[in-house]
């Protein structure tokens, strides 16, 4: 199954980001926008992961998450990957992302021991809100994205890690929660 590990966002932050996405989607640029209910902060994309290894991974994640205390991070600012001239991904940023980086490092250790490749690029905590399809008429949208580069969007209390399955459909991805692992506690 195709899956990933993420921090879920609270409704207030999702609502704020959804409003920004609605505003940006008025531009003529060709972008596939993320649906409100699919907004999250990816800690680790696993790709195709064998069904028979899910229980083993879940047990290891539960152990790792017990060692992490709940924390708060601020959702703030905007940007793009790889750069402003040829953007492919539009994102909302995170301030105070050090604890997210620590969670990523622990998760990366667990998943690499189960055969998932380590990410070569440094982990940059962010919330993907759109994927650019073409660069035609992109400049007005990029100006709008840049205009919110220091904008605060709220705080998120991270108290668990979520294991998602992602099924790709012609209407967009469908996410299903496989399990949630409480920081400092039990899975649900």
Residue 172 has a pLDDT of 85
- Cα–Cα–Cα angle for 7, 92, 106, rounded to 5 degrees: 35
Q: Between β-strands 71-81 and 89-95, what pairing exists: parallel, antiparallel or unpaired?
A: antiparallel
pLDDT along the chain (188 residues), means of 10: 97 98 97 97 96 95 96 97 96 94 97 93 96 96 98 97 95 94 75
Total Cβ atoms within 10 A of residue 71: 16
Contact criterion met (CB below 8 Å) for 94 and 7: no
- Nearest partner of 130 among 47, 18, 16, judged by Cα: 18
What residues are annotated to the active site? Answer: 40, 126
Kindly state the tokens that stand for 80: 């793009």
Distance of CA 181 to the CA centre of its chain: 16
Give the pLDDT confidence score for residue 185 in this predicted structure: 61
Phi and psi angles of residue 113, each rounded to the nearest 5 degrees, phi first: -70, -20
Cα torsion at 54, 187, 35, 49 (round to 10°)? -10
Is residue 74 classed as helix, strand or coil in its secondary structure?
strand
> Which runs of consecutive H residues, i.e. helices, occur in 67-165?
98-113, 139-146
pLDDT, position 62: 96
The model's pTM is: 0.94
DSSP for 81-100, written as a single string: ES-SSS--EEEEEEES-HHH
Domains of the chain: 2-182 (3.90.1140.10)
Residue 186: the pLDDT is 56
């Amino acid at each position: 199954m195709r899956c990933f590990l993420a921090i879920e966002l609270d409704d207030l932050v999702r609502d704020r980001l959804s409003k920004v996405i609605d505003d940006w989607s008025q531009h003529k640029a060709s972008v596939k926008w993320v649906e409100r209910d699919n907004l999250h902060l990816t800690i680790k994309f696993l790709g195709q992961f064998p069904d028979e290894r899910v229980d083993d991974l879940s047990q290891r994640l539960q152990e790792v998450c017990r060692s992490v205390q709940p924390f708060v991070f601020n959702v703030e600012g905007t940007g793009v990957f790889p750069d402003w001239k040829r953007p492919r991904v539009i994102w909302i940023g995170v301030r105070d992302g050090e604890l997210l980086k620590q969670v990523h490092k622990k998760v990366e250790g667990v998943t690499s021991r189960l055969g998932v490749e380590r990410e070569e690029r440094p982990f940059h905590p962010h919330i993907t809100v759109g994927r650019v399809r073409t660069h035609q008429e992109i400049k007005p949208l990029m100006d709008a994205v840049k205009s919110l580069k220091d904008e605060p969007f709220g705080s998120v209390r991270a108290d668990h890690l979520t294991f998602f399955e992602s099924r790709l459909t012609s209407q967009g991805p469908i996410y299903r929660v496989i399990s949630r692992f409480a920081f400092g506690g039990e899975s649900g």
